[in-house]
Structure 1
């Protein structure tokens, strides 16, 4: 075979770095991606400082992890860093530190110290410099007050400090020194704390075997566990384990299912409101997907079924490890995954069983008089008893079909009943 000529055509650094800024991060998810690196480095504490100072506003992410030697620091700032990720590492593509940072700012500085016996090293990735030179370069940053603070934080032990400056994607273009800009940063700090409390709740709770403390502007981040483990009336269904194999790729996925207590059964009204989550009860129902104990995606049923008021108490965790990344099509920002079609088929009966139980728990919840009728009149006692009995029969029918492995057949029967006798379907609670 005749040899072919080939030509090296390196991409324009200026253009490509500009494009990579729009990968899809918002401020909290960008911070979370930096915290991923801290967790992988074995950090026990991560402090996030979001400081308003007009155009000089900045963000610090400080950890007490393993730190890096100079060569590793340069490599960490390479787009598509050349490193092997171990099983369980939260990194994936070698892009997170760079793309997450530059999605929010034009200059990111990393100061790090590998051990108490070594010195502090710092490098800076600056978009203005890259655009001027159109080359993939990092710089040795000039010593200033910000870098002095980094040295002070790393004075006695190993760790890493990431600094975002020139926050062009965070501060408003007009009047970045004004009160609105200050309030925006304060709001972002609150949203970031909320996001980190959800994404890293297992690490914050110490259930991973690695206790982590995160603070945002000096306030300790509280874990937000979507499954309300402290609630006495939570229903736990048996955990299920599935094997997923796609080509040469194989691994295990664990499904855990929960029916949360109704409002009246929660230990406190404030706790019920807290567990409603940032999306509120209806949209917080569904699957919570964890990659190596880090929450990646939550809310909704991944196409298995739709969101329903009657199943809002149903939540389930889906756990996979990094060896199944390709099967789940995890994105660069680690915010979106896709359930493999083979897994979706396996979990569908278990999800439907969960929703049947959640539906039953919802319907047993006491209702205020006046909700049953549009006119505001309470349903007569006899009529209410008939309605309750019919609803219980409908739930029993669904559960029996689930146990018998005939849920798909029952679904077809229900669809036909809705067409031919919608009133009976309504009475049996099968109209949705």
Structure 2
């Protein structure tokens, strides 16, 4: 800046870290952000250990990835890592390791080994008590530390990284951290973390697209993938795949949309599996768009302003996929938990989403009719009459779907309203009563 006076004003480290602790993580999402780093490091196994020990309770997140050199480890603890991220890599801002960890604890240690042939580990600690005391973003060597020594022993067999959370002030109660309630809380958080990891990393756990399955364990228990689209159910229906091009600045990128109608309870392989697939939000709130960034699920539930949640469309779910090159178009947040859809993309999605909901509505109502009293014309009707009734219902569904694809849904609603008034018997036959 020639000709101008300039001043370097460093931020207060103590104040800044206090603000960053409230960036929006809860315990499961914070753990998931650390696992993102493990996936980026090429790990095939990630072990999460949540150990209750009163005020000395701790969380270990260990992987067998390629690890970090001492220089890379120190850089990884910088607030706003300077390294660049490759296309498809789950990291983005260079904040995740620090913000996710400090949202749950006051001390985070990172122990890593990057040399497969030589057992050489490095360890560094970021401690908020020291940061606040010095008002500087400082990282220290842990010295003689039993927990760090334990992590180093885990890395004796090969490369990898261990993240250690201690002083869990955002997890344990300030009073009586050694009580029964604190123990039960940690147990509950372990269960929630396992469920969350099974959802957001389900594609990695399944090993799709020729990728070897990732193994994640929580307190020794293997995490089970929860695929929201129930691909193993024979009655799951998939509609044709859609692909959209969206503009970002002077360039463009592609977004994929896959649409599914899940089976109703009576067509699921078992009632237990139907209940499991209802998900943590249950069927109504679990319907909607499932947004994936580089195969990692970042947001789900609801239709992102395209339409409202409806009991009759609760079987409708859709996968919306984008790559890391479209991060700016989706405005993904630091915690990688929320995205926003541009007006351009919402407009593109409106017709295919409404078409999906038409199919889901029809599936729901078929079940409703199948579990209630038969309609009068079907009582004792011969097979050919029942077949004609089913064909008429299929025709009604096809008409609604065609209106969606032609961009004439508003016109179709007006037509259907006139039919309900002037020809209710036709409406009933075609299944257009909704």
Regarding TM over 0.5, the answer is yes
> Does structure 1 residue 277 correspond to structure 2 residue 272?
no
Report the equivalent of 1:199. 200
Pair 425,285 (structure 1): closer, same or farther in 2 beyond 3 Å: farther
Task: State how far apart, in whole Å, the 2-side matches of 1:233 and 1:64 are.
Answer: 38
Say if 1:63 and 1:430 are closer, same or farther in 2 by CA, change over 3 A: same
Tell me if 1:92 matches 2:92. Answer: yes
Distance apart, 1:415 and its partner CA: 7.4
Deviation at 1:142, TM superposition (A): 2.7
The aligned counterpart of 1:73 is: 73
Aligned to 1:213: 215
C-alpha separation between the residues in 1 aligned to 2:431 and 2:376? 18
- Where does 1:71-220 land on structure 2 (aligned, <5 Å)? 71-116=71-116, 117-208=118-209, 209-220=211-222
Q: Is the 8 A contact 1:425 1:431 kept in 2?
A: no
- Partner SS, residue 297 of structure 2: strand
**Retained in 1: the 8 A contact 2:119–2:156?**
no
1:397-426 CA deviation, whole Å, 9 max, x = no partner? 4223124432233245567889x89x9999
Give SS of 1:289's match.
strand
Q: Is the 8 A contact 1:414 1:425 kept in 2?
A: no
Offset at 1:431?
Answer: 7.3
Distance 1:410 1:165, change over 3 A: same
Cα displacement (A) at 1:340: 2.0
Written as runs of structure 1 = structure 2, the 5 A alignment for 1:290-301 is: 290-301=292-303
For residues 348 and 121 of structure 2, what CA distance do their matches in structure 1 show? 51
Matched length: 424
Q: Tell me the secondary structure at the aligned position of residue 140 of structure 1.
A: coil
CA separation of 1:210 and 1:340: change in aligned 2, threshold 3 A? farther
8 A Cα contact 1:50 1:58, kept in partner: yes
Distance 1:177 1:417, change over 3 A: farther
Name the CA shift for 1:185/1:390 in 2 (closer, same or farther; >3 Å).
Answer: same
Q: Equivalent residues in 2 for 1:22-37 (5 A)?
A: 22-37=22-37
Deviation for aligned residue 1:395: 3.5
How far apart in 1 are the matches of 2:375 and 2:156?
74
Q: Residue 23 and residue 249 in structure 1: after superposition, are their counterparts in 2 closer, same or farther (change >3 A)? A: farther
Distance apart, 1:388 and its partner CA: 9.0
Contact 1:249–1:324 under 8 Å retained in 2: no
The residue aligned with 1:375 is none
> Structure 1: 5+ residue runs without aligned partners?
372-377
Name the stretch that deviates more: 235-244 or 313-322.
235-244
CA distance in 2, matches of 1:380, 1:405: 33
**Structure 2 gap segments, 5+ residues each:** 380-385
Alpha-carbon RMSD across the aligned residues, in angstroms, is 2.6
d(CA) in 2 for partners of 1:257, 1:416: 30
TM-score normalised over the length of structure 2: 0.91
8 Å CA contact 2:352–2:405 kept in 1: the answer is: no
1:381 — aligned with what?
376
Greater alpha carbon shift after TM alignment, 111-120 vs 128-137: 111-120
1:210 deviation in Å? 3.7
CA distance in 1, matches of 2:399, 2:86: 48
Is the counterpart of residue 337 in structure 1 residue 317 in structure 2?
no
Q: Which residue of 2 aligns with 1:251?
A: 253
TM-score normalised according to structure 1 size: 0.92
- Counterpart CA distance in 2 for 1:379 and 1:211 is 47
CA contact (8 A) 2:246 2:344 kept: yes
